[in-house]
């Protein structure tokens, strides 16, 4: 997590004081900044611990038909439980965009995509990727070595400016069969061509931090599912939003505690306390200390009340 690598921050708090927050200075404020969003002040400087990567990494996509989703996602769930730290694999269900490595007749069909990044030796990474290829009969793949900074931006063209968006999100510790079946059911009925369901694999190093170490406490979350609905016209609002909310409700029983606050939408203020879980009361106490009149409230708000 980015917040796990934050070493210090300069902050202007509500009464105008300029403070430095770190493990040794204003440690309570530092605890709250790491996950508490913009609730306590304006951060004007960050100090991070860096981690060497690349500059080139083995990465890319394997694209399977949705008809093979049960097999692919079930194997993905088991594979990600034991994969090495150098590897990450995300699952995306959507309609196929016009990717150049896919046959034209595949464009617009429902697909399951494995998005892969291996940050170690590429030859070693290819051994792990070979196992992923066996999950089904792929429509196609595009895997190779490229700069990490390019891979980081590879999905940006799908985020077309001007589109209408609505998100819902859950954390999961495991991907149960019932959850997988529900994902497939709703991936078969996407309300628009730009909608996607993605399951981001976290775990690994992110789960080795004490849940009490900072405001972000969802260390049992091995997966984050984001239901990202995107469409073009106001006439589609009701149908697309209803689909996302219904899917979210249907998968609630499989979710673990907490949520990633950056994935909460503006109509989910009641989920803020749930998102922070056991950290929430301490965050309220910090809010009373550093922003008692709630100046910093254009966010997933932690109320001083």
Summarize pLDDT for 99-123 with one digit per residue, the tens: 999 999 999 999 999 999 999 999 9
Specify the pLDDT at position 160. Answer: 83
Q: Rounded mean pLDDT of 230-252?
A: 96
The distance from CA 181 to its chain's CA centroid, rounded to whole angstroms, is 21
Specify the pLDDT at position 257. Answer: 83
Q: What angle, 0 to 180 degrees and rounded to 10, lies between the N-to-C axes of helices 177-187 and 69-82?
A: 130
Compare 157 and 172 and report the one with higher pLDDT.
Answer: 172
- Right CATH for 57-262 from 3.40.50.1220, 3.40.50.970, 3.20.20.70, 3.40.462.20: 3.40.462.20
Residue 57 forms beta bridges with which residues? 146
Q: Among candidates 218, 268, 220, which has minimal Cα distance to 3?
A: 218
Model confidence at 77, pLDDT cuts 50, 70, 90, reads very high
Specify the pLDDT at position 158. Answer: 81
Specify the pLDDT at position 221. Answer: 94
Specify the pLDDT at position 267. Answer: 85
Specify the pLDDT at position 43. Answer: 97
User: Which region, left, alpha or beta, applies to residue 211 given φ > 0 means left and ψ of -120 to 50 means alpha?
Assistant: alpha
The Cα 227–Cα 198 span in angstroms is 7
Summarize pLDDT for 79-99 with one digit per residue, the tens: 999 999 999 999 999 999 999
Domains of the chain by residue range: 57-262
The Cα 42–Cα 45 span in angstroms is 9
Starting at the earlier edge strand, list the strands of the sheet with 6-12.
18-22, 6-12, 42-48
Model confidence at 78, pLDDT cuts 50, 70, 90, reads very high
pLDDT exceeds cutoff 90 at 171: yes
């Amino acid at each position: 997590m980015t917040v796990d690598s934050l070493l210090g921050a300069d902050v202007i708090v509500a009464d105008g004081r300029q403070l430095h927050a770190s493990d040794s200075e204003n440690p309570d404020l530092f605890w709250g900044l790491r996950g508490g969003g913009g609730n306590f002040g304006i951060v004007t400087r960050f100090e991070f611990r860096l981690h060497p990567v690349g500059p080139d990494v083995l990465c890319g996509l394997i694209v399977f038909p949705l008809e093979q989703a049960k097999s692919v996602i079930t194997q993905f769930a088991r594979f990600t439980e034991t994969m090495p730290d150098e590897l990450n694999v995300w699952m995306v269900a959507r309609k196929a965009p016009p990717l150049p490595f896919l046959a034209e007749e595949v464009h617009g069909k429902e697909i399951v995509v494995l998005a892969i990044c291996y940050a170690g030796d590429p030859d070693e990474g290819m051994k792990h990727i070979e196992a992923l290829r066996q999950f089904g009969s792929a429509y196609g793949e595009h895997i190779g070595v490229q700069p990490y900074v390019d891979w980081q931006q590879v999905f940006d063209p799908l985020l077309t400016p001007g589109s209408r968006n609505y998100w819902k999100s859950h954390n999961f510790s495991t991907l149960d069969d019932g959850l997988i079946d529900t994902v497939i059911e709703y991936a078969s009925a996407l309300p628009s061509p730009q909608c996607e369901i993605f399951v981001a694999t976290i775990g690994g190093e992110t789960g080795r931090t004490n849940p009490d170490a900072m405001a972000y406490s969802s260390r049992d979350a091995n997966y984050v599912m984001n239901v990202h609905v995107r469409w073009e016209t106001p006439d589609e609002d009701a149908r697309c939003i209803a689909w996302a909310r219904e899917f979210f409700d249907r998968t609630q029983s499989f979710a673990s505690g907490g949520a990633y606050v950056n994935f909460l939408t503006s109509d989910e203020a009641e989920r803020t306390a749930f998102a922070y879980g056991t950290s929430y009361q301490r965050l309220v106490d910090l809010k009373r200390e550093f922003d008692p009149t709630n100046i910093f409230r254009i966010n997933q708000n932690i109320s001083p009340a």
